Structure formats: C-alpha cells, structure tokens
Chain A
C-alpha cells in the first residue's frame, strides 16, 4: 500500500471518528436543546444507506438503497476524475460544475432533436456531452497557456456562464415549462427497467457504464501512455518538461480539455440516466465542488477516486436516513468537512505514516536480501 492511499484512509477514519465524538458530546436535538447521540445512532443509517441492511431491524433488507447509492455516486466519481485529471498536470479545475452543465445541455439537445435508433442515440448524446465539456474546459486551459490567466479565476467565472447560458437555451426551447424542457426521446435514455427491477425499483441505470469506461480510461491514460507521462511531467515540473522539449502549453490545454470531458460525461449521466429532461437551475448543485473533495481524498488515482466518490455518495444519501432516525443530517455534512479537513493537513499524521512505511520497507528489504541489510 502506498503512502497516499494510507493518508486517505487515515483522513477518512479521523473524519468519522472526530465527527462521531462531536455528535456524542454536542448533539443538538432536532426540536431544539442538547442531547447526545451514540455512535450506532449515526452509523446505522450510514450503513443502511449503501448496503440496504438495517442493523436496528426496523426495516427489512432493501436493495433499493444500494441502487440509489450507486446512482448518487456516478456524477461524483466523474467530477472527481475531472478534477483529478487536471491535478495531475498541476492544474486546479474548479470549473467542473460549469462543464457538467454544458455537458447536460449538449446531451439534452441531442436527446430532444436527433432521431436515432436506441444504443446509438445515447452514445451520440454522451459523445456530444463529452465534446461540450471538453470545449468548455479548453477555454480556461487556453487562457492559462496563452496569457497565463489563472485557471481558478476563469473556471469560477465560467461556472456562472455555463449555468446561465444553459438556462437561457432551455427557456428558449418549445415546450419548456415549470423549469423543465420536454422529456427526451425514449431512444436517448439510459434508464433501465432491468437494473431498476433487480434493485427493487431504484433509479439505477446504464450510466454506470460511463463510469466504468471513464475509470479505466483515466487509469490507462495516466499510468500507461506517453501522453500521461508528459502530463505528469508537466504537472510535477514544467521547467523540466520544457527542457526536454515537451509542448507544455499544449499539455495544459489538453489536460483541461480532458478534465472538462469527464465533467461533461457526468452531465450526460444525469440527464440521460436520472432526469430524462433538461432542467434550469437557480444555483449550483455542487457536483463540481464535491468532485474536488473526491479527487483530494482519492489522491487523484482512479481507484482512490472510485472509493472516495462512493464515500461522498454515502454521506449524501445517508442524510435523509439520518433524519428519519432522529439524528440531524448536519452530522453527515460535518463528517464530510472533517474528512476534507484531515486530508488537507497531512502534516498532522504524516510522521506516523512515514515511520510505519519505513518499517515495512525495511522488513521487505531484509526479506529480499536474505536477512542482510
């Protein structure tokens, strides 16, 4: 196990631990006043939220929870990949939110106005969403490469541009009413009766395939290709990359583009898999911002992002269950925040992790050298 994975796990454990201790000492009753919550009060709903298993025995085993948990994790994993990819090149893509909305818009338009057979139709929608996200990511990438404008500034601005631009287009469409477009054509949707039926009627749909392919592509590009090698070199030391003749500016633009592509796919997954229509928004849904936390906790690795996406999905879907169990949902938010907090200050526990890893390395070396060091 490497150091980053270990740090992530330590941060998650610390986050849960401190969060639960916090709720034991200073729980606030839902109708006012102070009370204390036992760890099982907090953990039981959490467990139920992603396994469907109710440890208190109040409800029978229900697979629907598993389905909803997976559905909720899909956009988070994709935006996590989006942010993580840019991180690998030393860029901070805070614009996944806007890129996601542009992806949603492209998927919606293709779903409404193209006439294509099933399977082909969603594929075209997905590709269109990817391209839209890519182009929307290229803008800050280009501005960074060409004029050295910091991508965080442009990305935040473009989030608003993305939201209001998408809203404007949706409103101009015929049949738009009560903040929704007309439903997309059936051929374009990724909804699946089969997946829904095996999970007791959840929203589970074929957009999980987008996640599977994206995770693999992410891992493959970063770890196996010369392109990924270049991006990592640029991210780690752009002077050295430039010294050896790599095209640093092109790398920055491509990295932001691909980062945007992942976010665009998240938009497609939401429209084609969950909603089935385009929606105007009055504010950010924070998929992009949660993606930052996912990438951070997942240490920018494909596997890490998969787990971290699942984790933040649990902390989201557990909130209503906590409330039902009489525990304020804010505890889940506090735990999320604590996990990010502990991830951001690895110095707190780095020393111990290093010691532990050193010991292990030592033992390993001992074994390999047949007892000699």
Chain B
C-alpha cells in the first residue's frame, strides 16, 4: 500500500546534541504506526518537524508522494496532518462546537454560522461513534470526552494523518479500550495514525508497525504482531529490562498516618476532597489510584500543609497535625516527593547542593548562628550524590536546571529519603522518566518499605500502583471509592472504581 508520509534521512540538531540523527520514517495509508522510545529519544522532535514546529537540518519530507516544506503548523494542517497533544488545547469556557471550529469558523455574510458547524460536528461524531455532547462546555465533560473533542477537531479540519502524542496518560483503563476502538474506526474510514507512546501494552493492542528510536537514532522497525513486548522494550532501552519489582512479603506495623473524614475545599466552591478516611502503617506502601484531577493533588497538599483543611483531621504518629505549619511537619518526620518537581520540588536556578539542603539549611551543622556552613553543605551533597548516583557535569556545584529529569528527580528522592522520615509521601515519582531511572526509584521506594517506613504513593500510572503497593485506595471525585489489598485485586476492578463505581458495584461487574 502507498505511503502517506515519508520522512527521509531527517537530522535535527540542537546545541550540543543531535536530537534526531538520520532517521527515516514512513507511514502507510490506513495503518497505525507506533513511535516508541524513552524520553529524549527524539520522538517529539521528529513529530514536531512533521507538524512544522521545527525545521530539520537535513532530510526531506514527502506527503502523499509529493515533496513538501512544512514551515509552520498551518501548512501541516493544509496537508491533512493533525495532532492530539498530550495536554489538550481546549478553552474551558467554550462549548464543544466552539472549541472545534476555533480558527476555522464558518462565516455567513460576516456572521458566525454556528448552526452549519454544529451539524457538521454532530455528523462527524456519529460517523466515528465518538459520542460527544456538542453543546456541553469543556469544563463540564470528562477528560476522555475532551480527548474525543480533540479528535473531532482534527476530523472537522479534514485531516487524514492523525498524530496522537501519549494519548492514554490521562485515561482510565476502560477509556483506553474505548480509545483503541475509536482508533480502529478511524483506520477503517481511511485515516492513518501515528501513535507516540512508551506503553508497550497499547502498542501491542492497536498498532500495526512500530518504529523504535533511541538517542535520536532509529533502532528498528518491527511488525507488532510478530514481536513480543520484552523484545520491543530491550530495543528501546538498549538492554534487558526487569519489569517486575521484587518485593518480600511483610507484615504492616503500627499506624503512622491516619486521615479522618478529611474535607478540602476548592476555591470555596465545592469539596475537592470529600470526606476521606484511611490509614497508612509502618512497613507498607499505600497507593492512591485515580484519574488525574479527582482530588489526589489536593489530598496530598492537605497532608503536607500546602492547603488548609476545611474539616476532618490528620494524625501523624498519634499527633494531630491538621493545622501544623509545613516546616514542622518535615521536622517531625514527614517527607514529600512532590508531584511537580519543577514547580515545588526544586529551585531550578540553585545549585545541586543548595537544593539538597532545601529543608535542612536552617539545621546544624549546615548553619551556625544563621550563617550557612558551606563546607558542611557541600560534604552532605557529595555524600548523597555518591549514595544515590546522581549524575551531573559539575557535581554539587551544578545548576539543577541543566540536569536531566531523571537526575533532578534523584535529587528530590535523595533529599527526602535522607531526612529519615517515618512517612514518605511520594507523588508521581516516575512521571516523564526513562526506564532506567524508573527502575532505580522503584527500588528505593521498596527499600524504604522494607526498612519499616510508611509510604503513601499517589500515582496516575496504574501499573506503578499495582507493582509497588500493598494496599490501594481509589479516588473518584474527591471520595475514596474503596480500599483493596493489592494481591487480591486486578486492573479491571481498580479501573471500574477509577471510573466512579464503588467497590461493591465493581465486584458485581466482574
């Protein structure tokens, strides 16, 4: 079958690195072609070139057999190339139709012709079975539906080459299945799809072929049906990967953290955390699963003191810490690896050493009478650099902004674990990291558990929750839908709870 896209011997350099190095990439009509690689492998750069955001230094692009120069996204769009970005580009206050026609508004004698647009959108939605309520406001619909709006946007613009950038990151397992079905529909209607992802399972489910990139170079192109997941994984990483986290059986001890009927308000409008209670014990990893935006972030903020609690209480080692200042919570043994490492976790323009002492700069021996003891700080930093294998160009003097994401995260992990906390609160610890760093961080978390510490893990990655935790609580719209023991549950049960069924209902559904 003919190639709709051919990118021939593309090279793109950024100062210091070749982000894409002589890569050839072609997509056939009506196929789903996956693009697999770790962070920094060049997937996004390659797609940005196709979408007109970057210009390659060498190589040429052919669309439907014709050589083209794509210098901006509008040209890409005219060629029928559309993209669903990882973070949706939608306006919350606008309706679905208004979002879809944005930039391509149909006009009838200087007046916006919303009716025609609305009909076309409804038609498309029915044709591809997208089930979108075209008149709803974006802020009122689920993330899954928002994604379908993004898909509709591409269809409305008559795009027939669709790029999906990590489309499943924000979806429940059920929604993922739904999306896969939609993708197959699109293919049957004559579209072609490029799927950017690092999730092997999904590639296996839906893709026809898979191109693997590593460090900007093309490593291989495989027929998905004839290749196993672990083969693809080792091609991606360049070595054998161990997906299973070794975890010894262990009995949980005393309660370290107890949450009682916790309620947290969002902008005095509604309860974003609504009457939640649970306990975390010594020597166990308690996982909070759920789709993004169901109150997990606020729950964590409540426990660490970043937001005020409306009612309910938080006990830490039998001490009421509900209204305790943030600093004191760290002092009594609560550590926090925050969800957003750039916003909360690090001062990016500080050095590595300065970031290491973000909590302990005012403790002895790192200061004396208000004066920082640089020597002690550097020694401490160097010790952690060694112990946690943090790699940087200038050691403790490296400006953190210049370091890789994995090593930045290691700084935070090192800092928080070295406080020897009773409770380690870890939120999304591996978001955006490569397989090697993920392995390492998982080992560290389990080591803490085996060391009889309590760990509260909040993650959107269901696989991470299932492989690390001992017990799981599932959050949906600010409430805990149920609590399960990890060895007794499965992805399906948790997935249903993530979608809003409580434990009993999801059991019946089995």
Contact = CB atoms under 8 A, between A and B. Distances in A.
Contacts of B358: 233, 240, 244
Contact of B371 (A225, A241, A242, A246): A225
Contacts of B327: 244-246
Given A229-B354, A244-B326, A239 B344 contact: yes
A226 B336 contact: no
B372 interface: yes
Interface string B328-367: 1110000010100001111111100010001101100001
A362 to B, nearest CB: 10
A245 B350 contact: no
Contact of A237 (B304, B326, B329, B346): B346
B361 A226 contact: yes
Contacts of A243: 304, 306, 326, 336, 338, 344-345
B345 A225 contact: no
Given A243-B306, A244-B330, A233 B325 contact: no
A233 B362 CA distance: 13
A240 B345 contact: yes
Contacts of A245: 305, 325-330, 359
B15 to A, nearest CB: 8
Nearest to A351: B15
Contacts of A225: 370-372
A229 B372 contact: yes
Contacts of B305: 245
Interface in B35-64: none
Contacts of B328: 245
A225 B370 CA distance: 5
Contacts of B346: 237, 240
Interface in A195-227: 224-227
B343 A240 contact: yes
Contacts of B336: 243
B348 A237 contact: yes
A244 B356 CA distance: 11
B347 A237 contact: yes
B372 A224 contact: yes
B interface, size bucket: 20 to 34
A246 B348 CA distance: 17
Contacts of A48: none
Contacts of A246: 327
A226 B362 contact: yes
A241 B346 CA distance: 9
Contacts of B325: 245
Contacts of A226: 361-362, 367, 370-372
Contacts of A236: 347-350
User: Of residues A225, A237, A243, A246, which shows the largest number of chain B Cβ atoms within 10 Å of its Cβ?
Assistant: A243
Contacts of B338: 243
A301 to B, nearest CB: 14
A242 to B, nearest CB: 7
B326 A232 contact: no
Nearest to A244: B358
A207 B306 CA distance: 46
Given A224-B372, A225-B371, A229-B361, A242 B326 contact: yes
A226 B366 CA distance: 9
A225 B367 CA distance: 8
B399 to A, nearest CB: 10
Nearest to B377: A229
B238 to A, nearest CB: 23
A240 B344 contact: yes
A237 B338 CA distance: 14
A239 B367 CA distance: 23
A233 B367 contact: no
* Residue of B305, B330, B347, B370 ringed by the most chain A CB atoms within 10 A: B347
Interface string B439-471: 000000000000000000000000000000000
Interface string B106-127: 0000000000000000000000
A243 B359 CA distance: 9
Nearest to B16: A358
Contacts of A227: 370
A227 B362 CA distance: 9
Interface in B292-344: 304-306, 325-330, 336, 338, 343-344
A246 B326 CA distance: 8
Contacts of B345: 240, 243
A240 B356 CA distance: 12
Contacts of B330: 244-245
Interface in B171-207: none
A230 B304 CA distance: 19
Interface string B367-382: 1001110000000000
Nearest to B325: A245
A239 B350 contact: no
A242 B358 CA distance: 11
Contacts of B348: 236-237
A333 to B, nearest CB: 34
A233 B370 contact: no
B64 to A, nearest CB: 39
Quick one: which of A227, A242, A244 has the most chain B CB within 10 A? Answer: A244
Contacts of A237: 343, 346-349
A236 B344 CA distance: 11
A323 B371 CA distance: 50
Contacts of A232: 347, 350
Contacts of A240: 343-347, 358
A357 to B, nearest CB: 12
A225 B336 CA distance: 25
A373 to B, nearest CB: 11
Interface of A: 224-227, 229-230, 232-233, 236-237, 239-246
5 shortest A-B CB distances, which residue pairs? A245-B327, A245-B326, A243-B344, A237-B347, A244-B358
Interface of B: 304-306, 325-330, 336, 338, 343-350, 354, 358-359, 361-362, 367, 370-372
10 contacts: A225-B371, A226-B362, A226-B370, A232-B347, A232-B350, A242-B306, A244-B330, A244-B359, A245-B305, A245-B326
Given A226-B362, A242-B326, 5 more contacts: A226-B361, A240-B343, A240-B358, A244-B359, A245-B328
